[in-house]
Amino acid sequence: MDFAKPKKPVKRTDGLRLSQQWADDIAKIARNLIDYITRQLQNPDHSGLHTAFNDFSALLEKNFHAALDDEIIVEMLAQYRITKPVFDILFSHSNVAGNNPLSIAINKVLDTLDENAITPEPEKLEAFYRIVSESAKRVDKNGQARQKLIVELYDRFFSKAFPKMADRLGIVYTPVEVVDFILHSVDDILRTEFNSSFGSKRVHILDPFTGTGIFIARLIECGLIDKENSKPVYNNGLHANELVLLACYLATINIETAYYSSYGGEYQAFSGVRLQDTFLMDAKQNSIPKKPDSHKNINTNDDEKHFAESNGLTDIKVIVGNPPYSTGQESANDDAANLKYPQIDRRIAQTYLVSTLNKGGKRSSYDSYIRAIRWASDHIGDCGVIGFVTNAGFIQSASADGMRKCLAEEFSKIYIFHLRGNARTSGKLRRKEGGNIFGVGSRAPVAISIFVKNPSAKQKGQIFFYDIGDYLDNTHKLEIIKTFKSIAGLKDKWQKIIPDSYHDWLHQRDRHFKNYLAMGEKSRNKTLTIFKLYSSGVVSSRDAWVYNYSKARLLTNARQMTEFYNSEIDRYSRYKKRFPDTVVNVRDFVKKDVKKFSWGGGNWQSGFKKQIKETFSEELTGICNIRPFTKLWHYRASRFNHSFYSMKEIFPDNASENIAICISGNGKRGGFSVLLSNRISDFQFEDNGQCFPLYLFEKTCNEAAGKTQEQCSFKRLDAITDEALEYFQTAYSDNHITKEDLFYYIYGILHSPDYRTRFADNLVKELPRIPAVKMLEDFKAFISAGRALGHLHVNYESVEKYPVKILTEKKTLEADDFYVTKMRYGGRGKNKDRSVIHYNDKITITGIPLAAYDYIVNNKTAIDWVMERQSIRIDKTSGIVNDANDFARETMHNPAYPLELLQRVISVSVKTVKIIRNLPELVI
C-alpha cells in the first residue's frame, strides 16, 4: 500500500488545524485500507484473519444490537486503524481500552492484519499523531478538556476526511459548554417539575444521536448521577443510538472511561449503545430499552415517591442530544443522498403541516432537526423532558408556524435559548448574528431548546425565550453559556412569549396588514388580489452550465452537456435491452462526471427514463438578470433547468417586452427587498424572489399550420386584475387611474421606509399587501416616485456615469487596461475606505459618495453587487470559467463596460436614495 509522505505537513497554530491535504491523505488511506482488507478477507489462506473478523463481527452485533454487513465492519476497521493511535492517546490514563471486549477483539483483527504484513505503519500520519499527543498531555485526566479534544478531533475527522458521510448523516459534534448547559437544565427541570433527578429509578435517559457519546459521558463526569445509584443507572438506565459504527465504538469507550474516572472501582462494560437509526424507530417501539428489574437497586427517597404517587406519575423519559443537521445533499453529483423516513414524515404531515397557515416551504418541514423534535415528542409520551441543540429556524420561519402551534399544544413548558449565528445573512445583519457555536460546522442559526411535558402542570404551552445578544463571536457565546450553566441561571432574564393568531413567537405581525389588498395568492381561496399571476425566478440547479457571461462559451458548454446527456441515454438504452426486467434508479445509473454534466435537480429524469434525447439549439439562448444589475447569457433548455415556474408567461421570448416587480420571497436571508426587471430573472435576482408582472402573454398558434414556434405568437394581457383597479379608482374617486399607475404606485410603496418598518414582521413571513394611502396627492406622489425608480432600475446601463475621479498612471487607457479580475475597496479591515475602489492594478476610482451605499438591494449595496459580479469566477466543481470581461467585449463591444457600469450604478444608487428620502409619509 502507498503511504507516501504528505505533500504538506500538518500545522498547528491555534488548536488542532487539520489541513485539506491531511483530509485528502486520510480519505485516500481509508479507501486503500478498505480495498486491501476486503481483498484479504476474500483470500482463503488467511484463516486467522477470517476467524478474528467473524468473532469481532459477532461481538459487534451483540454489543450494538444490530445485524451488520461486512462492508460496514470493514469500513469501521479502516477508520479505526487510522485513528487507533488517537484512541490510545486519549484513553491512555485508564484501563478501559485494555479491558473492553470490543477493543480486545478489534485489536486482534488488526494484529492479524499486521502479522500478515498487510498494513504498514502509516508514516504520513505521524505529524498528526504527535499533535494529538501534545494536546492530550495538557488534557491529562480532566473530563471536560478530554471531551473538548474528542469533539474537535472527530468533528474534523469526519467532516474533512469523510465529507460525504458527514453530509449525508448531518454529523456536527457538540461543544462541551452546550452539552453541560443542556444536562444541567434537564436536571433542574427534573428537580423542580418532577421532584426527581437523573439518579431516579423513574428516569430513563436516551441520547438518540450520540456521536462520540459526549452527552452521557458528561452526565457522568458532571456528577449529576449520585454515586449511590451510579452503578444501576450506568448498567440499565443510560441508552444511546448512533448510526456510524466507529462512533458507536468511540462512544462506548468514552462513556466507560468517564464512569471509571468518576466512580473508580473495577472495569464496568457499558452496553447501552445501539447501532440504530433513530428515525426508523416508530412510536410503538420502545426507544428507551428497559429490563423488568433494571432499576431494582436504585434507591428512591420518600419525598420523590410521595410526589410521584400524589401526581399520578410513573416513568419520566429524558431525551438529550444534538440531532443531525443534514437537510439535503448539496449536489446530486455528490452521490450522498439523504435517507428517507416515511413514518416520521407522515407524523410531520399529520401534525405540523396540518396546523400550518403557510402552504409553502414544505421541504424544510422535513429537515432532520424537525424530524428529531417530532420523533422525540412522540417517544417521551405524556411525561418527560427533551434537551436539544438544533437549527433555530423553527423559532420564527413562516413555514414552521404549524410546528410552533403543535409544540405549544404538546408541551407544558418550552425554554428557547437563542444562540444566533446565522451565516446565511449578509452585511450588518450578518455581523449582528455573530459567530456560530459550531464554527464552520453549521451556517444555520442555533438554539438550545428544553421541552417539558408534565401531565400535572396546571398550564400548558408556556414559552420562555432568551436571545444571547448581538455581535458576539463563538468563543464569547460559549463563555456566556458556561456562565449561565443552565436555564436556572437565566431565571430573571427569560422573556415570556404569548403566540399570536399566526402562531408567531417572535416578530409578531401587524394585525392590520390583513386588511390591505394582497399582491398575489396561490391558494384557491377567492381572495381579491392585485395580480392575476406571479412567479418565482428561474431555478437552474446547474448555474455553471446554463449561465455564462460569454455566449460562445455558454454554447460550447451546452453542446458538451447535451452530447454527454444523450450518450448516457444511449448507454441506458443498451442496458435496458440487455436487462429489460431490471428496475433501474437513473440517478444511480448515470456517470457522475462533473466535468461533463451536473446531475442536479431538473426535469431530466422523466425524459431520461423514456429515453428522450435532447436537441442542442442556439435559439435557446437569451440574456437573463441573474443578480441585481448583473446580466448573463442563459441556456433555456427546459430539460437542463430545474424550473421556469411561470416565467415563460411573463417573458415568453426575447422579443416580448414586459416589466415585473421582483421581491424577496419566503425564506429570505435578509430584510425585504424589491427591484424591477425587464427580462427573465433568476430565482436569486431577489432573495428567493417572486416576480409580479405588468403584463402576461398568452400563446396562440395557427392550428392549420401546426403548433411549431414559427406559427405561434403571443397575445399580451393585463396582469393586474380589473377588481384591484376598481378598488383604487373607488378609493380616490378617480376613473383615470390606470393599471400602469397602480403598478408604479406599488413599486413606490414597496420602497417606502415607513412601509418597510411598520410591516417588517409581516414582510418576513408573507407576501406584501398594498394599502391605499389616505390622500390622493400621496397616491400620485408614490406613482411618480415608482416611475422614476423603475426607470433608473431598468435602464441603469444608460444612466449618466457618476463623476468619480479616475486615477491611472497611463495617459491613454487602451482596451486591455479595463480588464477586471476582482475589484476591492481602498484600505483594509477597520481602515476600509469605501470612497475609493481599486478597479484593477491600473485604475483606481475615488470620490465615491458614501450616501450611495445607503441603497441596499437583495442584502447588499448596489455597488457591492457590481464589484462582486464584475469579476472572473471559476466553478470549483466543473472548472468552467465565467469571465465578466467576456460580456463586455463580446456582447457590449465595450471593454470598459465593467468600469462604466460601476459608475452608472453609483449614479443609480445616489438618485434612488434621494427619491426614497423624498417619499411621502405613509398615512393610510
How far apart CA 493 and CA 555 sit, in angstroms, is 60
- Give the pLDDT score at 13: 33
Are the C-beta atoms of 742 and 724 separated by less than 8 Å? Answer: yes
* Predicted confidence band of residue 122 (pLDDT cuts 50, 70, 90): low
Reading the block at residue 676, the C-alpha cell is 424591477
Q: What is the Cα gyration radius of the chain? A: 31
H-helix or E-strand containing 316? Answer: strand 316-321
789: which 3 cell numbers?
A: 425608480
Instruction: Please name the residues in contact with 515: beta carbons below 8 A apart, sequence gap of 6 or more.
Output: 769, 771
The mean per-residue pLDDT over the stretch 26-42 comes to 83
Q: Cell numbers at residue 282, please?
A: 416508530
**% of the chain residues with pLDDT over 90:** 63
Q: Kindly report the number of other CB atoms within 10 A of residue 412's CB atom.
A: 18
How far from each other are the two terminal CA atoms of the chain, in whole angstroms? 77
- Residue position matching grid coordinates 485513528: 83
pLDDT value of residue 350: 95
CATH 3.40.50 fits 172-202+300-497, yes or no: yes
b/e per residue, 372-399, with b = 16+ CB within 10 A?
A: bbbbbbbbbeebbbbbbbbbbbbbbbbb
C-alpha cell at 435: 459567530
Summarised one tens digit per residue, pLDDT across range 700-717 is 887 655 555 557 889 999
- The residues facing 916 across adjacent strands are none
Show the 3-state SS of 529-553.
ECECCCEECEECCCHHHHEECCHHH
Q: Which secondary-structure segment (H or E) carries 527?
A: none
* CB distance 445 to 389 below 8 Å: no
Q: Confirm if 444 and 405 have CB atoms less than 8 A apart.
A: no
HSE-CB for 540 with a 13 A CA cutoff? 21
Find all residues with CB under 8 Å of 697, minimum gap 6, and list them.
649, 650, 652, 656, 658, 714, 715, 716, 717
At 115, is the pLDDT very low, low, confident or very high (cuts 50, 70, 90)?
low
Do the beta carbons of residue 247 and residue 211 sit within 8 Å?
A: yes
Going from the C-alpha of 354 to that of each of 183, 394, 523, 807, the distances in angstroms are: 33, 16, 15, 62
Residue type, position 260, single letter: Y
- Spatial separation of the C-alpha atoms in residues 784 and 747, rounded to whole Å: 10
Q: Which grid coordinates belong to 434?
A: 455573530
In 3D space, the residue among 317, 321, 143, 304 whose CA is nearest the CA of residue 237 turns out to be 317
Q: 385-442, pLDDT tens digit by residue? A: 999 999 999 999 888 999 999 999 999 999 999 999 998 887 788 889 999 998 876 7
Query: What tens digit of pLDDT does each residue of 841-868 get?
Result: 999 999 999 999 999 999 999 999 999 9
Amino acid at 417: F
The C-alpha atoms of residue 200 and residue 372 are separated, in whole angstroms, by: 25
Amino acid at 533: L
pLDDT at 159: 63
Q: Could you give the angle at which helices 47-64 and 20-41 cross, rounded to 10 degrees?
A: 110
885 vs 895: CA distance, rounded Å:
7
Residue keyed to cell 400535572: 456
Q: Hey, how many other C-beta atoms are within 10 angstroms of the C-beta on 813?
A: 15
Q: How do beta strands 805-807 and 695-701 pair?
A: unpaired
What is the rounded distance in angstroms from the CA atom of residue 711 to the CA atom of residue 702? Answer: 6
Highest mean pLDDT among 207-211, 232-236, 337-341, 720-724: 720-724
Of the pLDDT bands very low, low, confident and very high (cuts 50, 70, 90), residue 30 is confident
Q: Burial level of 651, CB count in 10 A (0-12/13-18/19+)?
A: buried
- How many other C-beta atoms lie within 10 A of the C-beta of residue 335? 13
Q: Which pLDDT score, from 0 to 100, does residue 424 have?
A: 82
CA–CA separation, 212 and 245 (whole Å): 11
In this predicted structure, what is the pLDDT of residue 293? 44
Beta partners for residue 413, in sequence order: 452, 462
CA atoms within 13 A of residue 475's CA, in its CB half-sphere: 0
3 state DSSP class of 656: coil
Other beta carbons within 10 angstroms of residue 713's beta carbon come to 15
Residues of the chain with CATH 3.40.50: 172-202+300-497
Question: Phi/psi at 319 (nearest 5 deg)?
Answer: -120, 120
- Determine what percent of the chain falls in helix, strand and coil, rounding each to the nearest 5: 45, 15, 40
pLDDT digit string, tens, across residues 795-832: 999 999 999 999 999 999 999 999 999 999 999 988 99
Tens-digit pLDDT profile for residues 747-788: 999 999 999 999 999 999 899 999 999 999 999 999 999 999
Neighbours of 654 (CB within 10 A): 12
- Helix residue ranges, H only, 579-681: 586-589, 604-609, 647-650
- The pLDDT value given to residue 633: 98
Does residue 309 register a pLDDT over 50? no
What pLDDT, in 10s, does the model give residues 155-171?
666 666 666 665 555 55
Longest dimension (CA), the chain: 97
Strand pairing of 495-497 and 446-453? unpaired
